[in-house]
Amino acid sequence: MEGREDVRVGANRYDEKQPIGMAAQNRDSRDYVEPPPAPLFEAGELWSWSFYRAGIAEFVATFLFLYVTVLTALGVARSPNKCSTVGAQGVAWAFGGMIFALIYCTAGISGGHINPAVTLGLLLARKLSVTRAVFYMIMQCLGAIAGAAVVKGFERSQYDMLGGAANTVASGYSDVTGLGAEIMGTFLLVYTVFSATDPKRVARDSHVPILAPLPIGFAVFLVHLATIPITGTGINPARSLGTAIVFNRNQAWDDHWVFWAGPFVGAALAAAYHQVVIRAIPFK
């Protein structure tokens, strides 16, 4: 165990190797240096409090994310007159606004992923280790389950009657259409994450660290506007899993694979596009 730890490094206990996500924005030097890839496995992380602190931050952030967004979605579903509620636009704002706020709060601790698809994209780009990525995903899923469970505790019978805000492919759309919507939506989200947290942009533009959560939250908002009518908008496997487990009806599980396969494929494509095409990392 470590005798003393510098808490200023936040989630990035191993700063000399690879900043994680938005933690890359906190470097003192503005001179751009291509960071080396993170090691695939980092056993030393398991003995660092910052590793577990980052996981707890992901749990709490995903818990709060599900709590606010599911309550908002159920409030809209409960009203017979959509004009008397915030409507689909309000649901989209709830998702996008919560991502903006939570990334701002947790970026310096865990990188502010709050989404297994984002974590996978950063893992494929070698921004964090497999150990940390798996831990993050587990904590994100547990936080989502807990957040949806608290909402069900508040809503009780209405939660099941209103569908629990579980993701399903809407009537009139095929699973392939739903899968395509999830791939495209997650691609946009993860591509925005890479662009907003790119260390080369941080070195060049001093305002990027302050503004980074804004385009990410706005991307989530826009994707929800586009895909709520198709899938209810997943683009976050933890969000889909949490509501499916707590709602636990056949309709929540029939198309559940779409909300894992779509986001993971979209995240992988966004990581490849950013690293190979935009940054041309393999050619340097």
Extract the tokens encoding 214: 């804004």
Chain segment 93-149, per-residue pLDDT in tens: 999 999 999 999 999 899 999 999 999 999 999 999 999 999 999 999 999 999 999
pLDDT band at 20 (very low <50, low <70, confident <90, very high): low
Q: Is the pLDDT of residue 27 over 90?
A: no
Separation of alpha carbons 240 and 91, rounded Å: 15
pLDDT band at 78 (very low <50, low <70, confident <90, very high): confident
Separation of alpha carbons 259 and 68, rounded Å: 20
Per-residue pLDDT, averaged over 169-194, amounts to 96
Given this model, what pLDDT does residue 8 score? 46
Q: Is the pLDDT of residue 30 over 70?
A: no
Separation of alpha carbons 231 and 139, rounded Å: 24
Q: Are 45 and 13 in contact (CB under 8 A)?
A: yes
Extended beta strands in the chain, E state:
none
Among 128, 118, 114, smallest CA distance to 63 is for: 114
Given this model, what pLDDT does residue 139 score? 98
Per-residue pLDDT, averaged over 71-92, amounts to 83
Given this model, what pLDDT does residue 207 score? 54
Q: Are 142 and 225 in contact (CB under 8 A)?
A: no
Looking at every residue in the chain, the average pLDDT score rounds to: 86
Q: Are 132 and 44 in contact (CB under 8 A)?
A: no
Q: Which residue has the higher pLDDT, 268 or 87?
A: 268
Among 249, 222, 268, 284, smallest CA distance to 97 is for: 222
Given this model, what pLDDT does residue 184 score? 98
Given this model, what pLDDT does residue 29 score? 45
pLDDT band at 14 (very low <50, low <70, confident <90, very high): very low
Given this model, what pLDDT does residue 210 score? 65
Chain segment 141-181, per-residue pLDDT in tens: 999 999 999 999 998 888 888 899 999 999 999 999 999 99
Extract the tokens encoding 155: 């809503």
C-alpha distances out from residue 174 to 58, 169, 178, 261, Å: 33, 7, 6, 15
Q: Are 234 and 167 in contact (CB under 8 A)?
A: yes
Separation of alpha carbons 264 and 84, rounded Å: 36
Q: Are 234 and 259 in contact (CB under 8 A)?
A: yes
Extract the tokens encoding 247: 């709602």
Which pTM was predicted?
A: 0.86
Q: Which residue has the higher pLDDT, 129 or 4?
A: 129
Separation of alpha carbons 268 and 271, rounded Å: 5
Among 64, 28, 269, 86, smallest CA distance to 151 is for: 64
